[in-house]
Amino acid sequence: MVYHLSRNKRSIKGIIEIGGSKSESNRLLMLREYSSDFKITNLSKSDDTKTLVNALANTDKIIDVNHAGTAMRFLASYYASKLNSKITLTGSDRMKNRPIGILVDALRDLGAEIEYKEKEGYPPLRIIGKNLMGNEVSLPANISSQFISSLMMLGVKIDNGIKLNLEGNIASKPYILMTKKLMDKIGCNVVINNNEIEILRNYKSLNKIVEVESDWSSASYFYSIVALSRDAEITLKIFKRDSIQGDSIVSKIYQKLGVETMYKEDSIIISKNKMSNLPDSLKLDLSDTPDLAQTIAVSCLGLGIECELSGLDTLKIKETDRIEALKKEFIKLGVDGITTSDNKIYFRGDQKLNNNIKISTYQDHRMALSFAPLAVIIDISIESPNVVSKSFPDYWEDLKTLGFKIN
């Protein structure tokens, strides 16, 4: 399937209600399983969250998470600590090539019984649940934050709590802080001291309702749309000024690209600042927020701004190698002088873009989501558009609401 996107006008106005953050939703679902005493509202509609909900309710001996990397990492800890459970945790072909060895080693240090069914260091996993007696592990700090968050939440279940010693520079720290703040919110005792994280086993039930804030990474695509437009004003619900999501930094980044953000009680209004002077170049370290990389790169490309993004170490092990995928699609669009490395992408500004190019998505939702805003300035096609359901199933309907033509 291919969607063809276009717009007749570059003036855009509308109201969009974005679903709950899948990062918050998935963490709260796990915490509820470990503690079982609070309600969640505004849960994400994403495939990833639905996969996790279904997996937690599944009584089969084989749990298949398909492409959901978060579910794989969170469930590995969950089933390792679920007494008397005997399951195989598996996923798609791509999932079977996403490394999980560091998390498995940490769980084994805690006493978990896990074996690899196929390739050493990769899913599928055979897990026999038991009471985990260990309470201290060391692991590299520059790994996926989901490994660390998975172990943090597991600390609620372990009798003596858990202490994590992170070695080196911490990657994606805002996601670790998000986990801490959500755990604090439901009554957990989490102490972070530099590279040490301790979850104390004095969990205090607050028996409350927790509302999930809408997803800031999903909001980023509308920031891109506004940046590329001549005139735009979009209201996005449900967002907070004091967000716990690291990706909320998108509002400050896009201020440099001519987008203003006005905060209301439970929403934001983003609009084009016609008086803004765009920079000739943009250089950012996205170590803390790598999920914004594709969106920012596409925005800079459309605006003719020289761009250098670094801190992208984790992008090579996502749904696809996102750095390589960006390079391939940019070249198709006519971009010249693009260079990449394991953690960086650079391209020159003032590039003339080819029209009516078909963008490959590589089974990666963020490829489809981030390239679609280019339809503000050129006609573009998106292959396998349904891939967006992984994180933002209403995306195409929301774009139609804003006047995009999709056929």
Domains of the chain (ranges, CATH numbers): 2-20+213-406 (3.65.10.10), 22-211 (3.65.10.10)
Distance between CA atoms of residues 317 and 299, nearest Å: 23
Catalytic residue, chosen from 291, 313, 364, 398, is 291
Q: 341-387 pLDDT, tens per residue?
A: 878 999 999 889 999 999 999 989 999 999 999 999 999 999 999 99
Bridge partners of residue 126, in order along the sequence:
88, 115
Bridge partners of residue 140, in order along the sequence:
167
Q: 252-303 pLDDT, tens per residue?
A: 999 999 999 999 989 999 999 988 899 999 999 998 898 899 999 999 999 9
pLDDT at 186: 87
pLDDT at 202: 63
Residue 160 binned pLDDT confidence (cut-offs 50, 70, 90) = confident
Return the higher-pLDDT residue of 321 and 20: 20
Does the pLDDT at position 117 exceed 90?
yes
State pTM to two decimals. Answer: 0.87
Q: 3-32 pLDDT, tens per residue?
A: 999 987 768 999 999 999 999 999 999 999
Residue 319 binned pLDDT confidence (cut-offs 50, 70, 90) = low
Distance between CA atoms of residues 342 and 290, nearest Å: 13
60 is catalytic: no
321-338: average pLDDT: 91
Q: 189-245 pLDDT, tens per residue?
A: 899 999 999 998 666 666 688 999 999 999 999 999 999 999 999 999 999 999 999
Lowest average pLDDT, out of 36-40, 107-111, 183-187, goes to 36-40
Could you give the dihedral angle defined by the CA atoms of residues 93, 58, 143 and 195, in that order, rounded to the nearest 10 degrees? 180
Does the pLDDT at position 182 exceed 70?
yes
Distance between CA atoms of residues 99 and 103, nearest Å: 9
pLDDT at 170: 83
Does the pLDDT at position 134 exceed 90?
no
pLDDT at 385: 96
Nearest to 213 by CA among 181, 188, 240, 195: 240
Nearest to 351 by CA among 340, 337, 341: 337
pLDDT at 159: 82
